[in-house]
Amino acid sequence: MYETEIYNKTVRESLPDKILNQFISTLDSIKLRSILHWTEHCTECSMPACFKTCDFYSPRIDGKCQRFVNGIEKVNLDSGLSINLLKIYFKMWGVLASQGNNELFDMDKAKSIERNDFKISSLIHLPWPPFIKKKLAQKRYSVKKKHIIKMQNTSSLIPDAFVSEIFNPTDKTIYLNLTIRNEDEKYKKIPFQYRMKLNPGYNKEIIPFNEIDKRIKTKISYRINLIPENITEDIPLYFGLTEFVQFKNSVSSGKKSQKIKCIVWDLDNTIWDGILIEMGYDKLKLKPNIKEILTQLENKGVLHSVASKNSFELAMEALQFFGIDHFFLFPQISWIPKSLAIKEIANDIDIGLETILFIDDSVFEREEVQTALPQVTVMDALEYNDLLKMEVFQLLVTAESLNRKQMYLVEAKRKENLEQYNGEYLDFLRSCNIELELLPLIPAHYDRVYELTQRTNQMNFSGNRYKKEDIELIGNNDNLDIYVLRCSDKFGEYGIIGLAIINKAENRLIDLMFSCRIQSKRVEHAFITFCLQKYLNDSDFYVTYRQTEKNKFSAQVFQDFGFELEKQEGALKYLKFPRGKAFLDDKIINLKT
């Protein structure tokens, strides 16, 4: 959907069959999609004052500023194919924007809504006097925006991804910045941002929804902006599907991890025998061995939480009565669907849904979670005694794992302080007094480094999974500079959160990985700054990393610094930072060597 109340012009065009087939292929792969309302905006907008002060102000029929040369044009294909394509020529400061809404509809329903919208808009474009047309356009926009906000999160359906299809008809590469940001002042400090590279021809970007969902709160209002960097008014871009989607054969949605980071427990007839609300907690009995199982798994670094349909106050009293309340992080105890409760827990802990195991005695509840969240592993409560025997829980007990729950509690305190902080996000980080300590790889660190290499996905830039025996061999290699990274701030310890390996002969960073606990805290930026300060003296500095769907967002750190792409072999990228080039040093992190 787009601003049909302002623009309902269609243009007839003929696009290459190869390009059209790619648009069709994407449509064929989609089961459900959102209905975003794409609109025209300005990066420098301060309306209505700017309408009088800005030399670039060009009024539309509703009085707002036109920042696209021909507005938004709907493409009718000469081939007769039914593909929704929007053609846009961006003026300076032009932004394609939408009110956020990840509610999903089947494809036929979405088409019907968009067809009806176009028909209604046709009435606005009848030859009314300008002041009536202006009022009609403003009213229609207001109705659509309210409807979009009203239907947000009315179901428990969760998208697999945000998909953006764009045809770049030129022979030059164009960059497009995607920013998704909450509108609430409390949460808008940390947006989701990604820089899209539009090569000549057809481009499709698939951004996993969980990557967006971990940075912004998708339950409340948010905005989506698409802003081109290096485009001129004579270059059109053709936008195909630009929506949240659920795929027919969902690979990302159905994929389960080989690692379980958190077990989410039901309570009634799962943690204890009996139903709390009917019996009262004094008549309940804990399941045999529950305390021992909770303790042993927690010592291995496995987190616990609760998703239960119960009275929160009564359930917490019961957990305290049995002396097990301290095991459970961010318990979700209410009457909402358990899939939504698990999603909230994953967001609070900041882990992927694919790393969660859900245990419940009810077939209905397990099926509801499995249908809505196919990434989550489910288990019948009758099998809870098998947990300690499962291969996925044959884990090392390290100082890090023993302290993991406490680290997440400290992280919750950081988030609470951020929400209360009145200022810019980077200033908040400076106020945290974050310290990054660079340590040598010594035997005392072997177990934690091994654990880090096995658990890290989102911020693992090599994709390496070292065996235990590899760690000692690496540590004894004189051709390598190895850094074990430990982090802390005024709230507490993060512990050992990273590993970096530099090939001294090549002046090349060949391995870099961080725990997701420090994501968005500029720690990776501080380490790259250190590398450039130390290794740029005699030659250029190089980086080799393997891009994956999980690390491509974190890898934007190299773009932030301005690394140049030397070559690419499949997913393997070779980057260079030239000697003598100025580099970023935001002085947010205190470095200790």
Identify the sign of the CA torsion 516, 521, 523, 524: positive
Q: Which one is the CATH code of 407-592: 3.40.1110.10, 3.10.50.40, 3.40.630.30, 3.40.50.620?
A: 3.40.630.30
Please give the residue that has the higher pLDDT: either 160 or 403: 160
Weakest-pLDDT range from 258-262, 365-369, 394-398, 523-527: 394-398
Terminal C-alpha separation, the chain: 54
Weakest-pLDDT range from 53-62, 97-106, 453-462: 453-462
Please tell me the distance from the alpha carbon of residue 491 to that of residue 495, in angstroms, as a whole number: 12
Peptide bond before residue 48 is cis, with ω within 30 degrees of 0: yes
Q: With bands split at pLDDT 50, 70 and 90, how would you rate the model's confidence at 456?
A: low
Would you call 96 helix, strand, or coil by DSSP?
strand
Residue 62: Cβ within 10 Å count:
18
Q: Could you confirm whether domain 255-395 is CATH 3.40.50.1000? A: yes
| pLDDT at residue 294 in the model | 96
- Using a pLDDT cut of 90, give the percent of the chain over it: 60
**Distant-in-sequence, close-in-space partners of 527: CB < 8 Å, separation ≥ 6:** 436, 483, 485, 498, 500, 512
| pLDDT at residue 314 in the model | 95
Mean pLDDT score across all residues of the chain: 89
Residue 408 token pair: 């997440």
**Distant-in-sequence, close-in-space partners of 375: CB < 8 Å, separation ≥ 6:** 252, 253, 254, 255, 256, 257, 352, 353, 354, 356
Question: Does 573 score more than 50 pLDDT?
Answer: yes
How big, in percent rounded to 5, are the helix, strand and coil portions of the chain? Answer: 35, 30, 35
Please give the residue that has the higher pLDDT: either 78 or 329: 329
Residue 222 token pair: 């948010």
Tell me which DSSP letter residue 486 carries.
E
Q: With bands split at pLDDT 50, 70 and 90, how would you rate the model's confidence at 555?
A: confident
Q: With bands split at pLDDT 50, 70 and 90, how would you rate the model's confidence at 153?
A: low
| pLDDT at residue 217 in the model | 86
pLDDT digits (tens, 9 = 90+) for 156-191: 678 889 999 999 999 999 999 999 999 988 888 889
Please tell me the distance from the alpha carbon of residue 74 to that of residue 7, in angstroms, as a whole number: 9
Weakest-pLDDT range from 56-60, 396-400, 549-553, 589-593: 396-400
| pLDDT at residue 392 in the model | 86
Tell me which DSSP letter residue 128 carries.
-
Residue 105: Cβ within 10 Å count:
18
| pLDDT at residue 394 in the model | 84
Letter for the amino acid at 135?
K
Please tell me the distance from the alpha carbon of residue 499 to that of residue 201, in angstroms, as a whole number: 39
Domain ranges across the chain: 10-250, 255-395, 407-592
Q: With bands split at pLDDT 50, 70 and 90, how would you rate the model's confidence at 407?
A: confident
Residue 311 token pair: 């009275």
**Distant-in-sequence, close-in-space partners of 92: CB < 8 Å, separation ≥ 6:** 56, 67, 233
CATH of region 10-250: 2.60.120
Q: Are strands 285-286 and 174-182 parallel, antiparallel or unpaired?
A: unpaired
pLDDT digits (tens, 9 = 90+) for 282-291: 899 999 999 9
| pLDDT at residue 131 in the model | 92
Give the dihedral of Cα atoms 433, 216, 455, 522; nearest 10 deg.
Answer: -30
- DSSP states of 269-305 as a string? TTTEES-HHHH-GGG-EEPTTHHHHHHHHHHTT-EEE
Contact 156, 369 (CB under 8 A): no
pLDDT digits (tens, 9 = 90+) for 337-362: 999 899 889 888 878 888 899 999 99
Q: With bands split at pLDDT 50, 70 and 90, how would you rate the model's confidence at 247?
A: very high
Q: With bands split at pLDDT 50, 70 and 90, how would you rate the model's confidence at 253?
A: very low
pLDDT digits (tens, 9 = 90+) for 68-113: 999 999 998 877 677 889 999 999 999 999 999 899 999 999 999 9
| pLDDT at residue 251 in the model | 44
| pLDDT at residue 197 in the model | 92
C-alpha distance from residue 129 to each of 40, 124, 125, 134, 425 (Å): 23, 11, 10, 9, 48
Question: Does 365 score more than 60 pLDDT?
Answer: yes
**Distant-in-sequence, close-in-space partners of 197: CB < 8 Å, separation ≥ 6:** 173, 175, 203
| pLDDT at residue 457 in the model | 66
Q: With bands split at pLDDT 50, 70 and 90, how would you rate the model's confidence at 458?
A: low
